[in-house]
Structure formats: structure tokens, C-alpha cells
Amino acid sequence: MKIMVIQGPNLNMLGVREQSIYGPMKLENIHSEMKKQAEQHNIDIEFFQSNLEGELVDKIQECLGDADAIIINPAAYTHTSIAIRDAISAVGIPTIEVHISNIHRREEFRQKSMTASVCAGSVVGFGPFGYHMAMMAAIQIINEVKMIKEQQQKQQTI
């Protein structure tokens, strides 16, 4: 099992930027905690961060055939990127959207997610703990997909 974690623009500045909104935890610390969680569940995990929309689209596309789930924080691109939305839709991999802050309590332009409608679910407003919640959701979805495939294989052999 493999989960790809994709982080959007400015998340490399966590712990430095707007701590009153995003908190003091750095991205490296979030990834370190996620790695520990993945190890406990025998899951391979890979991390990618970019400030460039096209690189995020490329990474999503590279997940096809390589990852069982995606956890993504598109950051500012959440509200603007049809390209990221279309890439998530195209690969058909279960994707969990994460936002450290509660986007629904922020500026009006941040309250609309272009990507949420093609994701399995969204976790918003729980700070860095939201990534833990997203991992648990991704593991659950991966296990459900695996069970369905196993049941389909059994039915085909009957």
C-alpha cells in the first residue's frame, strides 16, 4: 500500500507564515508524524511539495498505477485550479483534501474549493492533526477498495 502526500504553494513556509492561522508546526514535522503513522500501518508514504501548479498536476498524474491514495493540500490552488481538479478526477485514485485552517470561516474567496467535488472527502480546520485524520480515512478507503476487488475476484472464479 502506498499513499502520496502532495502539498501546494507556501506550505513549505509553515511554522513561519501566519502562525495565528496555521500554527507553529513546520511541514517537516507534519511529514515526520505522518511517516510514523504510515510505518505503524505498514504503508509506504511519499511526500511532495511545490509552489508550481503544473508540478502539482504532474505529480498527481504520476500517482496513476503507483499510489493507492492521495492526500492533498492544494493550498491557494484549492480555490482557483481547474487543472488540479481535472488531474485528480482523471487519475481516479481516492483522494483526501486537507486544509489546516477552516476555509469555511475565512475570507469569502477561500470558502469555495474547486477540488473538493472530485475528492473522497475533505478535512478542514483541525490544524496539523487533519493530516492524521486524512491518513486514517485513506487507510480505510484503501482497505475497502481492496476488499471489493477481492470479492469481485472470488465471484469471477465461481
Is 22 in the active site? Answer: yes
What nine digits make up the cell of 71? 492526500
Encode 15-27: b = buried (16+ Cβ within 10 Å), e = exposed.
eeeeeeebbebbb
- How far apart (Å, rounded) are the C-alpha atoms in residues 78 and 61? 17
Catalytic pick among 22, 77, 104, 131: 22
Residue 7 has φ and ψ, to the nearest 5°, of -115, 130
Catalytic pick among 99, 104, 131, 132: 99
Is 104 in the active site? Answer: no
Mapping DSSP onto H, E and C, the string for 88-157 reads HHHHCCCEEEEECCCHHHCCHHHCCCCCHHHCCEEEECCCCHHHHHHHHHHHHHHHHHHHHHHHHHHHHH
- Identity (one letter) of the amino acid at 94? P
> Which residues are known catalytic residues?
22, 99
